[in-house]
Chain A
Amino acid sequence: NAGVTQTPKFRILKIGQSMTLQCTQDMNHNYMYWYRQDPGMGLKLIYYSVGAGITDKGEVPNGYNVSRSTTEDFPLRLELAAPSQTSVYFCASSYHSFPGRSPGLAPYNEQFFGPGTRLTVL
């Protein structure tokens, strides 16, 4: 398994440009996430998805959009890039079972992270 993969690894954008960060996982995880990590800071949740066709906002969603058309892919779209979006972006995935379907199993499991995309907006 490749795990969680992200492209590109690095990107420089000009103010006002748009781009899509790609994320793919091959572990059949139902949950996927996008985080940003600013220098010396923790991970801030941008958006997450609990399954194909279902997405929800995290802590810092402004300026971003997501879609989840398949279990494997969770792209992050930046519209009208701004210098404040300069950061390292991590995609992650995890599997969560639901008590009704799997009685006795702990519902939460670790998040597996991709290698990150370093984005600079100038």
Chain B
Amino acid sequence: GENVEQHPSTLSVQEGDSAVIKCTYSDSASNYFPWYKQELGKRPQLIIDIRSNVGEKKDQRIAVTLNKTAKHFSLHITETQPEDSAVYFCAATPGTNAGKSTFGDGTTLTVKP
């Protein structure tokens, strides 16, 4: 089955700095890679996703890059703000089975004011 590794497990940055979270996956059949943000005590919510036919996607301060050859993808947050503090999860979904997304273990991001 798919294996998704996420690093780092915790990340602390100063407000205004950039944050980068990386995930690697094992199944070359995976072709959909969403990122979810989970605030304390809340449900996960999608913040950005990327499909395997593109290498990069941006949405304001958030971007995701995908390297299919190396089987890794990364979340980039620029100009971080205290409200960006949360747990971020990556996931990989195989093209052969849209029901079986595999999630990383999460990264706790703390943005210090």
Using CB atoms and an 8 Å cutoff, list the residues of chain A in contact with chain B: 31, 33, 35, 40-45, 48-50, 56, 58-59, 90, 94, 96, 106-108, 110-111, 113-116
Q: Are A31 and B98 in contact (CB under 8 A)?
A: yes
Query: Considering only CB atoms and an 8 Å cut-off, how many residues of chain B contact the other chain?
Result: 23
Q: Are A48 and B99 in contact (CB under 8 A)?
A: yes
CB-CB under 8 A from A110, the residues of chain B are 34, 46, 49
Closest Cβ–Cβ distance, residue B9 to chain A (whole Å) = 8
Q: Are B101 and A45 in contact (CB under 8 A)?
A: yes
Q: Are A58 and B106 in contact (CB under 8 A)?
A: no
Closest Cβ–Cβ distance, residue A43 to chain B (whole Å) = 4
CB < 8 Å neighbour of A42 from B43, B93, B100, B104: B104
CB of B113 within 8 Å of the partner chain: no
19 more contacts with CB within 8 A, not counting A45-B100, A50-B98, are A33-B101, A35-B103, A40-B106, A42-B89, A42-B104, A42-B106, A43-B44, A43-B89, A44-B103, A45-B101, A48-B100, A59-B102, A108-B32, A108-B51, A108-B93, A110-B34, A110-B46, A111-B46, A111-B101
Question: Known: A42-B89, A107-B98. Is A113-B45 also a contact (CB below 8 A)?
Answer: yes
CA distance A45 to B31 in the complex (A): 18
Closest Cβ–Cβ distance, residue B109 to chain A (whole Å) = 14
CB-CB contacts below 8 Å: B1-46 with A: 1, 6, 31-32, 34, 42-46
Closest B residue to A3 by beta carbon equals B43
CB-CB under 8 A from B44, the residues of chain A are 43, 90, 113
CB-CB under 8 A from B46, the residues of chain A are 110-111
CA distance A121 to B107 in the complex (A): 27
Closest A residue to B44 by beta carbon equals A113
CA distance A40 to B9 in the complex (A): 9
